[in-house]
Structure 1
Amino acid sequence: MESWLYILCICLILGAAIGFMAGLLGIGGGLIAVPALLHILPQVGVSAEKIPHVAIATSLAAIILTSLSSARAHHKRANIPWPLFKSMLPGFVLGALCSGYISEMIAAKSLQQIFAVFVILMAAQMAFPFKAQSNRDMPSAAHLFIAATVIAVIAALMGIGGGVLLVPFLTWCGLQMRFAVGFSAATGLLIALFGSIGYTLAGWDAAGLPDWTLGYIYLPALVGIVSTSMLMAPIGAKAATTLPTAKLKKIFALFLTLVGLKLVFA
């Protein structure tokens, strides 16, 4: 079997798991996709120094379509405070576009270890959720721009949509939780889109990449993940009404911690 076809089949299964877990636990797919791709990609000839970049870029590209459906749902429920985009949109675009070029300045081993530490921190947040609702006023436009840029850089560097960073920040700023989540869904789409563009441009002429890549995005893996994740997310969401999601989140957080520790010492 052709290596790209093998990866496509593996990623169809991976995408199903990502979609189901995303719907069940309300987590971003990047926390599952990136570690899995770090393990899978060497089998298609991605050079060792490019594996983290391709894994993260492919994860970001997969988030585009999944974020689109989430953003549409929140828009229909009037959960997206669109006026906030005036201050934060330029920062999201700038940070996401720069992420691909910033990743090229980080050694593959260091990028993998940074991601691993991030996974462990997110596992802790999942097991012991941080709630930061407050009554303080929204920061100035300049501060929101800076915050948006930093959040977009970190999110795109880690191959995630950014909700785990943006929602706590916005609730800390005094925004109601439902608006923070809705805004995060919309901006996750933007971060994934412009982050993918950044990784595509940064990896356009990169050496050590196999066929079927678009910059740093590995297309067979992308197609496989997206195809099944979007089908399984509603099933996971339905299962969330009957399964003990709080206990499952803690179990999954332990699993993520073990994955993160393995990546740190790999």
Structure 2
Amino acid sequence: NSLTGIYGNGLKAFLFLMVLCTVWIPVATAQPVPNSIQQQFNDYNELLEQNNFSDSIVGYESIVGSGFESGPLYLNMGIAATRMDSLGLAKYYYLKARNFDEVRLAANDALDFVNYELGRRGARLPELAWTRITHFLFFEMNHIGYVVLGLILINLGVIFYVIHWLRDYLKQINRYIGIALFVTGFIVMSGAIVIYSYSSSYSEGVQIQREVQVRNQPTMDAEIIQTGYEGFRYIIDMKSSGDSEGWYYVRMSNGSRGWIETNHLKIL
């Protein structure tokens, strides 16, 4: 059976299970959890159980503001936002929670639910293949891992090239393998460095308002290019946005570019 809407039985069952699974999970991270943080977390969990969603989010945000983050923390914030029918904000929190191994599966399930509900509201935008590639290169690619891989290949290439000097057996093959590994490693390493350097000027944002106008200039009276809907994800050009206070220059998933007010987005 399909879900019946934000206040339907499907949502209630889903959220009930999510709360049971997460609301009393200790704030788990690689660093020790201060007792004061754990106590605050438990206090805000009680607010969540009492359906005091707005105050629980304010409380959780205060923990994040103190410099402490965890998967259960963001997951519970997403649950509270979902119960408030603020699905764009919930999507933001679940995307943050997905970065933590201990709650990744639960966060992905929650994201599937939120995206389904947003889709029921017609909040879908075609995504270009180039946008998907850009998103991977900028926000998902392990740049450091590719740099390390490149260095390994370069060193292997040097080893094979030296071997071709020292041994006559398969001399030419070792030479070609050495050159191929060195060139491949250099391309991988330099490519990862260039992409990382370029991507540092960009961020990703999630729209938290129901409906927002994307304009061709950073002013309220500028021409409207397109309408953005709650839950839309944008690539934000932080460098181009720097000179326009209160506005972000964004690229939408369908390739459209324009300006959107900063208070309508949460940056991941």
Please identify which structure carries the higher helix content: 1
Given the two structures, how large is their TM-score scaled by the length of structure 1? 0.27
Given the two structures, how large is their TM-score scaled by the length of structure 2? 0.27
Please identify which structure carries the higher strand content: 2
Higher relative contact order (CA 8 A, sep 6+): 1
Q: Rg larger in 1 or in 2?
A: 2
